[in-house]
Amino acid sequence: MRKSIFITAGLFLSISTQAQLLDILKSTVKDKTGIDLNNPQATKGSTAATTTNTTTTNPISTSTKTSPLNVGNLTSTQISSGLKEALSVGVTDGVKKLALTDGFLKNEAVKILMPEKLRKVDMTLRSVGLGSLADEGVKLLNRAAEDAVTEAAPIFTNAITSMTITDAKNILLGNNNAATSYLQSKTQSQLFTAFQPKVKASLGKVGADAVWKNLISKYNTFTGQSVTTDLNEYVTTETINGVFKMVADKESGIRNTPAMRTTSILQKVFGAQDANR
């Protein structure tokens, strides 16, 4: 009888010890993995729910951060109108300034210099006391550009009017001259075609062609060379570059300087741009 009692006590202690070990094991698993062995189904469901929420949240957060269409409450029409107005202001202001006397000549950012391949002509003429002739040649190149630049306005207006809502959305949150780059891609070839005959006429109108013929003739006489140049193509290209430089400066100003947003649509659209930076 006593022997049976000892055996029963031993078994009880063994079972108790195993239970304690099992509890320790369960506690360790829960601490390390988060899995509750006492209620595995509930834990599994909770983990799945957590995973699902995480998967759903991350893409939305990333999309909101990088999407170019995150422009607050603006409608597509407002975005398009704002971009078109910014470009219109840039073109109108730029062309107006360039078309003035000295609009090119006294603006170092767009001033048309002696063609690169004729820089030697310039130095040679100055070395023999004909610097005033070289200066006159450069001045008249700029006068021709100032006379011809008004041809840009209707071409730009057509390109701005045809801007789509998709175009506007794509460039609103672009770099400082994204709209100008768009305009350049749409008008470059048209501008060159339209400008060439106008520049040619302007070169004759201001007397640049006669002065340059005399300038090149004197250089050839002094050096024994036979230099020629196509002033029409050169001045046409430089005039177009000058216009885009002015438009880009205006666009950058509107994007970065709230005081230059002189209308409500500019304030609204580019204010939304500020919020996305």
User: Would you write out the chain's pLDDT as a tens digit for each of its 277 residues?
Assistant: 544 444 443 434 344 444 454 455 455 545 544 555 456 544 444 443 333 333 333 322 223 333 444 556 788 888 889 999 999 999 999 999 999 999 999 999 999 998 887 888 888 888 888 888 889 989 999 999 999 998 888 888 888 988 888 888 888 878 888 999 999 998 988 889 988 999 999 999 999 988 888 888 888 888 888 777 788 999 999 999 999 999 999 999 998 999 999 889 988 888 877 776 6
* CA contacts within 13 A on the Cβ side of 97: 20
Quote the CA–CA distance of 263 and 270 in Å, as a whole number: 11
Report the pLDDT value the prediction gives residue 65, as an integer from 0 to 100.
Answer: 35
Report the pLDDT value the prediction gives residue 74, as an integer from 0 to 100.
Answer: 81
Report the pLDDT value the prediction gives residue 245, as an integer from 0 to 100.
Answer: 95
Report the pLDDT value the prediction gives residue 122, as an integer from 0 to 100.
Answer: 82
Q: Are 235 and 145 in contact (CB under 8 A)?
A: yes
Taking the alpha carbons of 256, 259, 265, 266 in that order, is the dihedral positive or negative? negative
Report the pLDDT value the prediction gives residue 36, as an integer from 0 to 100.
Answer: 59
Quote the CA–CA distance of 276 and 271 in Å, as a whole number: 9
Quote the CA–CA distance of 121 and 62 in Å, as a whole number: 59
Whole-model pTM: value is 0.68
Helix (H, G, I), strand (E, B) or coil at 130: coil
Report the pLDDT value the prediction gives residue 76, as an integer from 0 to 100.
Answer: 86
Quote the CA–CA distance of 13 and 26 in Å, as a whole number: 20
